[in-house]
Amino acid sequence: MKSLASSLAVLLLAVTSHALAQDAPQLNLPRIQLTAGMHQIDAQVAHTPEQRATGLMFRRDMPLHEGMLFVFEQPAGQCFWMKNTLLPLTAAFVADDGTIVNLADMKPQTTDSHCSAKPVRYVLEMNQGWFAKRGIKPGTKLGGQLFEGRK
């Protein structure tokens, strides 16, 4: 009986920890430095399916020069939504060579779908208005080691 109670307590703790982790922002992702013209971006990189699924959910704020870069295995039509995301964001859908294909402003806590205009491997999310305030539009090429040598 004592063993069963101990096992149930461990199971309950594991389930509770997992549930709490689902409602907490992911903060310890690898980072990469990108540029957009003369502007520096410190981007966290979400490259696993789990990291991409969580993205910026549950974050209450994000410094102005920071963002999140979603990296996919191959170019494809990418669509994003904002369920459980508290910050207004702009998504830049980015081709392999770093060229921004299209931009989408996204409202917090909605399930509206925002998709790439053509297949892309990268999506960069920044605070909403970051791109517009800097005059960065589709056709702008992002820089950084990730895009060097890609065509």
Whether residue 7 is contained in a domain is answered as no
Mean pLDDT, residues 44-68 taken together: 94
Q: What pLDDT, on the 0 to 100 scale, is given for residue 76?
A: 98
Whether residue 90 is contained in a domain is answered as yes
Q: What pLDDT, on the 0 to 100 scale, is given for residue 148?
A: 85
| Average pLDDT value for the chain | 87
35 SS3 class: strand
Assign residue 139 the CATH number of its domain: 2.60.120.1140
Q: What pLDDT, on the 0 to 100 scale, is given for residue 25?
A: 67
Mean pLDDT, residues 20-45 taken together: 84
The pLDDT tens digits for 66-112 are 999 999 999 999 999 999 999 999 999 999 999 999 999 999 999 99
Mean pLDDT, residues 50-76 taken together: 95
Q: What pLDDT, on the 0 to 100 scale, is given for residue 149?
A: 73
Q: Give the number of domains in the chain.
A: 1
Mean pLDDT, residues 115-131 taken together: 98
Cα(29)–Cα(11) distance, rounded to whole angstroms? 27
Whether residue 36 is contained in a domain is answered as yes
Whether residue 23 is contained in a domain is answered as no
Mean pLDDT, residues 120-145 taken together: 97
Whether residue 101 is contained in a domain is answered as yes
Whether residue 22 is contained in a domain is answered as no
Whether residue 77 is contained in a domain is answered as yes
Q: What pLDDT, on the 0 to 100 scale, is given for residue 26?
A: 66
Token pair of 14, please? 């594991």
The rounded percent of the chain whose pLDDT value lies above 70 is: 81
Q: What pLDDT, on the 0 to 100 scale, is given for residue 93?
A: 98
Domain that holds residue 132: 29-147
Whether residue 21 is contained in a domain is answered as no
Cα(72)–Cα(144) distance, rounded to whole angstroms? 17
**Under 8 Å between Cβ of 80 and 106:** yes
Token pair of 128, please? 């909403």
